[in-house]
């Protein structure tokens, strides 16, 4: 079984986080693994979220 890694890089994940992924009217609620660096960047982005490959992400499902 492959070891879990961060959604956005090859680092081992620091935590499993509930995130909202959205683009326009499309919404997806996911639980993803993020490394410390990407987790803190996502938290810093706040409710406005962080864009990655055309999708916006933020912490929390609402």
The binder of Zn ion chosen from 17, 32, 38, 57 (CB under 5 A): 38
CB 29 within 8 A of CB 61: yes
Tokens read off for 29: 């609620």
Tokens read off for 3: 């070891």
| Residue 41 found at the interface with Zn ion (CB under 5 A) | no
Which span (20-28, 29-37, 48-56) binds Zn ion, by CB under 5 A? Answer: 29-37
Nearest distance from C-beta of residue 39 to Zn ion, angstroms: 8
Give the Cα separation of 24 and 17 in Å (integer). 22
Where does this chain bind Zn ion (CB under 5 A)? Answer: 6, 8-9, 11, 35, 38
């Amino acid at each position: 079984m492959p070891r879990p890694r961060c959604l956005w890089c090859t680092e081992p994940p620091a935590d499993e986080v509930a995130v909202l992924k959205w683009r326009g009217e499309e919404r997806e609620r996911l639980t993803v693994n993020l490394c410390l660096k990407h987790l803190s960047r996502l938290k810093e982005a706040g409710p406005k979220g962080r864009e990655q490959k055309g999708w916006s992400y933020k912490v929390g499902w609402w």
